[in-house]
Structure 1
Amino acid sequence: MAVKSPKPAGRPGEPSKDVRPADLDDLDRSILSLLHGDARITNSALAEAVGVAPSTCHGRVRRLLELGVIRGFYTDIDPAAVGLPLQAMIAVNLQSNARGKIRSFIQQVRRMRQVMDVYFLAGADDFILHVAARDTEDLRSFVVENLNADADVAGTQTSLIFEHLRGAAPI
């Protein structure tokens, strides 16, 4: 599906602060559920599956993009298939005097090849990083050389992932 995502509001890389739920009907929810299962489904197949004309379906998808309900279409790469079979979640805490550097920390870790996802949190930890590595030595090197060596990082805690299962669509 060749549909472009609109730019999110706010600074680049920041999600929209508008958290009001969109007004979705059953057709929108059906479209979202099918796209969640297969973002590469053609518009014709999607329209047929939900029982509407292709033009109606395309208009609905475009509207969902414009509303920010659909944030984009992504390729789900299997880390093991590209030589990174070990996954972990790393809780990161910044030094209390580094609070002004939160955005730069986010930009820095997002550029690291091992980092799959970055979660900025409220609570005991400041961030959770979802990372992939070749093996335990590669993971250890990543944590020691990239995170613990950073003067702004107060500490880390690493948890290995045994299995990653995708959840249901949040609709």
Structure 2
Amino acid sequence: MSEIELDDVDHRLLSEVAADGRIANNVLARRLGIAPSTCLTRTRRLIDAGVIRGFHAELDLAALGRPLQAMISIRLQPSARNQIEEFQHYLTTLPGVINVYFLAGTEDFQIHVAAPDGDALRDFVVGSISRRREVAGTHTSLIFSHVRPPLAV
């Protein structure tokens, strides 16, 4: 990412886009009080600089047949320290994995997963995570609800 200076308009633009990645340029420009051409130029500048890295859809996991969500903490064996990148990549290939976090502290990874039910979640943890040689232990926490607050930019 290039380091660029962000002014108040950039911060407001980023807040609006973070809240609604599909906002139309003319609506965004009107909310910011700038011309649509200026708004488009600013947005492209933020994309080119790597400040805006992408636009994403938030999916209804229950509608996709995966209503049960969990956070799984994973601790690797001390001997597996040289396999961190490989293990991280492996996690990204597993079905149902929404996010992968590489952490500092007692746990090495935390993954956000969605599963059809408790049996499928258990099978995932035991069959896809715990059975791996490099894994020393796991801890699974069920997610009751998830709320995404507006991003303060």
Is residue 71 of structure 2 the alignment partner of residue 74 of structure 1?
no
Structure 2 gaps, min length 5: none
Q: TM-score, normalised by structure 1?
A: 0.86
For 1:52-81, what per-residue CA distance to the aligned partner results, in whole angstroms no more than 9, with x for missing partners?
Answer: 111100111111112221111011112111
Which position in structure 2 is the counterpart of 1:59? Answer: 41
Q: Give the 3-state SS of the residue equivalent to 2:127 in structure 1.
A: helix
Which position in structure 2 is the counterpart of 1:39? Answer: 21
Identical counterparts, % of pairs: 48
Which position in structure 1 is the counterpart of 2:95? Answer: 113
Is residue 106 of structure 2 the alignment partner of residue 137 of structure 1?
no
Cα-Cα RMSD: 1.3
Paired residue type of 2:16? L
Gap change, CA 1:113 and 1:170, over 3 Å in 2: farther
| Structure 1: 4+ residue segments shifted above 3 A | none
Aligned length: 153
Gap change, CA 1:24 and 1:115, over 3 Å in 2: same
For 1:75-106, what per-residue CA distance to the aligned partner results, in whole angstroms no more than 9, with x for missing partners?
Answer: 11121110100000000011111111111111
Structure with higher RCO (Cα < 8 A, 6+ apart)? 2
Paired residue type of 2:25? N
Aligned mates of 1:74, 1:169 — CA distance in 2: 15
